[in-house]
């Protein structure tokens, strides 16, 4: 017995000494528990029901816009502080704010408390950048693909099982929303505790000390030492500018980044307000609400279509923009269906179609952008694209949703979101038709240029999701 215990301890010590296994295991478990949220698919019924007693109009036109504005305000500072503080403190902060979020949901009452909750949750979403950035700073480059797959898998499994459990607790057990939120609070406390077990990275992607820069073969700037020295900030600024130029030097990558920002802004709006649409169509008892089951199915569908990308063979430089236009049209049709139907099952089907379409194309877009970029460039590009998406989402919210703007009802909002995706579709269909026509009717020089700008026509199957 004692010998078995020693052997297990010795094996765990070997894992802890590994250059990548220990932080990957801990962060994967953190990602699982942080995304294991059985109460999240039922947030809107919980807020507008007897537990919080907030009106649907207040949730739609006041509370949810607070999250959007707060997210925009904290996103850029958090992105830079994440690298400067070496990731782990930001992950710990995210875990703390997740716990605080569900403490408020369980025990706080009144509109003011729920307003603070939206600001609190904006910090949670803004700090998500630390989840993947952390692991890239503590594992060797040759393990990036493997650990990315593990971390995405942990998030997906956590979200799917959490949504499925929430549905079982609502439909089968008949548990009240309050107790489901209490269970959620417990799982997030586990995630918060796990965040302290992560080892501290020795360097960031942009803010690096001179010894690390020298080890990586980078130009060493001689100046006064110190982590917070002027030299460190100057080096970080130079690397940020270089990464920006490298990221957006290709016309092809700019098109993918543009679609990423435009489509993600619309996705955020649909995802944020879909529960209000479901409640509008069928404001029924908890036993007939299937939000959790739909979210679980949607997550599995998203994983399936993302995995299928690895088996696609396509000249993305030629056909990519046209494909973006086609799937944007699918998204537009799905959003119109959600907004115009009075059947809850048709609305569920539209949401599943919409999210699967978005997950498929965002996976391709992420790979197309990351395929020819260093991890520093990819981190910056992800940050910039997300910031532009949130900026566009904020404009949509201020004009369409907010009481100080048009303050439209939920049905009219979804009709506008469908029109928004239709405009994206038209833009990329026209551009895609021009690109494909130029390739087939133009000179050989155009074909050569397309091949140079295609980041992943032949190696798409190597990406991990």
pLDDT in tens, 68-80: 999 999 988 888 8
Picking from 179, 203, 227, the residue at the C-terminal end of a domain is 203
Nearest of 434, 136, 166, 159 to residue 299 by alpha carbon = 159
Tokens of 153: 């898998």
pLDDT of residue 446: 47
* Selection from 16, 24, 11 nearest residue 139 by Cα: 24
Task: Say yes or no: 429 and 300 in one domain.
Answer: yes
By CB atoms closer than 10 A (0-12, 13-18, 19+), residue 294 is buried
CATH code where residue 148 lies? 1.20.1250
Q: Are residues 186 and 307 in the same domain?
A: no
Tell whether the model's pLDDT for residue 123 goes beyond 90: yes
List the structure tokens of 427: 């833009």
Indicate whether 241 belongs to any domain.
Answer: no
Q: Return the CATH number at 321.
A: 1.20.1250.20
Predicted confidence at residue 17, as pLDDT, reads 52
Residues 253 and 180 in one domain: no
Question: Do 424 and 286 share a structural domain?
Answer: yes
Mean pLDDT of 390-402: 92
Query: Given 203, 224, 258, which residue is the final one in a domain?
Result: 203
If you average pLDDT over residues 301-326, what whole number do you get?
Answer: 75
Residue 375 half-sphere exposure toward CB, CA atoms < 13 A: 19
Same domain, 198 and 273: no
pLDDT digits (tens, 9 = 90+) for 19-46: 678 888 999 999 999 999 999 999 988 9
- 163 and 55 housed in the same domain: yes
In a domain, 9, yes or no: no
Mean pLDDT, rounded, of the chain: 80
162 and 258 within one domain: no
Domain ranges, residue 110:
15-203
Residue 109 within a domain: yes
CB 64 within 8 A of CB 118: yes
- For residue 463, tell me if it sits in a domain: no
Region 399-421: mean pLDDT is 91
Q: Do the beta carbons of residue 40 and residue 166 sit within 8 Å?
A: yes
Q: Are residues 196 and 263 in the same domain?
A: no
User: Is 60 exceeded by the pLDDT of residue 461?
Assistant: no
Instruction: Answer with the one of 166, 182, 203 that is the final residue of a domain.
Output: 203
SS (HEC) of 307-343: HHHHHCCCCHHHHHHHHHHHHHHHHHHHHHHHHHCCC
pLDDT band at 370 (very low <50, low <70, confident <90, very high): low
Instruction: Please write the tens of the pLDDT for every residue from 275-310.
Output: 999 988 887 655 567 889 999 998 888 777 766 766
Is 222 part of a structural domain of the chain?
no
Q: What is the pLDDT of residue 458?
A: 41
pLDDT grade, residue 270 (50/70/90)?
very high
What are 165-217's pLDDT values in tens digits?
Answer: 999 999 888 899 999 999 999 999 999 999 999 998 876 666 655 444 444 44
User: pLDDT class for 83, splitting at 50, 70, 90?
Assistant: confident
Total number of domains in the chain: 2
Q: For residue 287, which of 179, 160, 176, 181 has the smallest C-alpha distance?
A: 176
Q: Are residues 33 and 167 in the same domain?
A: yes
User: Are 290 and 436 within one domain?
Assistant: yes
If asked whether residues 198 and 253 sit together in one domain, one would say: no
Of 118-132, 186-200, 440-454, the range with the highest mean pLDDT is: 186-200
- pLDDT tens for 85-122 read 888 999 999 999 999 999 999 999 999 999 999 999 99
Q: Report pLDDT for 309.
A: 64
Kindly report, residue by residue over 209-264, the tens digit of the pLDDT: 544 444 444 433 333 345 556 666 666 666 667 767 766 777 778 888 889 899 99
Q: Is residue 231 part of a domain?
A: no
Is residue 131 within 8 A of residue 122, CB to CB? The reply is no
Q: How confident is the model at residue 448 (pLDDT cuts 50, 70, 90)?
A: very low
Residue 215 makes CB contacts below 8 A (sequence gap 6+) with: none
**pLDDT value of residue 376:** 63
**At CA 324, angle to CA 321 and CA 325, rounded to 5?**
90
Do 103 and 182 fall within a single domain?
yes
pLDDT for 348 equals 94
In a domain, 234, yes or no: no
Q: Is residue 225 part of a domain?
A: no
């Amino acid at each position: 017995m004692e010998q078995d215990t020693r052997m297990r301890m010795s094996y765990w010590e070997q894992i802890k000494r590994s250059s990548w296994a220990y932080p990957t295991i801990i962060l994967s478990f953190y990602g699982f528990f942080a995304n294991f949220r059985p109460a999240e698919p039922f947030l809107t019924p919980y807020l507008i029901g007897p537990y919080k007693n907030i009106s649907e109009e207040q949730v739609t036109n006041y509370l949810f816009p607070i999250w959007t504005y707060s997210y925009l305000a904290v996103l850029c500072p958090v992105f830079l502080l994440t690298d400067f503080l070496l990731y782990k403190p930001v992950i710990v902060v995210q875990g703390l704010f997740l716990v605080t979020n569900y403490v408020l949901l369980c025990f706080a009452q009144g509109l003011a408390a729920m307003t603070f909750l939206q600001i609190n949750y904006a910090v949670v979403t803004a700090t998500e950048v630390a989840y993947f950035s952390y692991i890239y700073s503590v594992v060797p480059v040759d393990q990036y693909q493997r650990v990315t797959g593990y971390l995405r898998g942990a998030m997906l499994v956590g979200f799917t099982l959490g949504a499925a459990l929430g549905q079982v607790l609502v439909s089968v057990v008949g548990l009240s929303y309050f107790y489901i939120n209490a269970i959620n609070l417990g799982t997030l406390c586990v995630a918060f505790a796990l965040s302290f077990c992560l080892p501290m990275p020795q360097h960031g992607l942009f803010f690096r000390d001179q010894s690390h820069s020298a080890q990586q073969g980078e130009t060493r700037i001689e100046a006064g030492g110190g982590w917070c020295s002027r030299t460190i900030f100057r080096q970080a600024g130079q690397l940020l500018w270089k990464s920006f130029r490298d990221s957006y030097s290709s016309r092809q990558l700019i098109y993918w980044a543009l679609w990423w920002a435009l489509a993600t802004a619309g996705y955020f709006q649909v995802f944020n307000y879909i529960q209000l649409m479901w409640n509008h169509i069928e404001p029924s008892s908890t036993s007939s609400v299937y939000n959790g089951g739909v979210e679980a199915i949607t997550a599995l569908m998203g994983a399936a279509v993302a995995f299928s990308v690895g088996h696609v063979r396509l000249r993305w430089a030629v056909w990519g923009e046209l494909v973006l236009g086609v799937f944007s049209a699918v998204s537009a049709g799905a959003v119109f269906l959600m907004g115009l139907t009075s059947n809850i099952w048709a609305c569920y089907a539209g949401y599943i179609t919409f999210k699967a379409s978005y997950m498929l194309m965002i996976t391709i877009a992420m790979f197309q952008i990351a395929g020819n970029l260093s991890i520093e460039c990819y981190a910056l590009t992800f940050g910039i694209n997300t910031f532009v998406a949130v900026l566009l989402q904020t404009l949509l919210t201020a004009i369409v949703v907010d009481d100080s703007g048009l303050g439209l009802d939920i049905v009219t909002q979804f009709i506008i979101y469908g029109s928004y995706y239709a405009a994206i579709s038209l833009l990329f269909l026209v551009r895609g038709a021009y690109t494909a026509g130029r390739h087939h009717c133009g000179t050989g020089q155009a074909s050569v240029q397309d091949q140079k700008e295609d980041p992943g026509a032949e190696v798409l199957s190597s990406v991990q999701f």
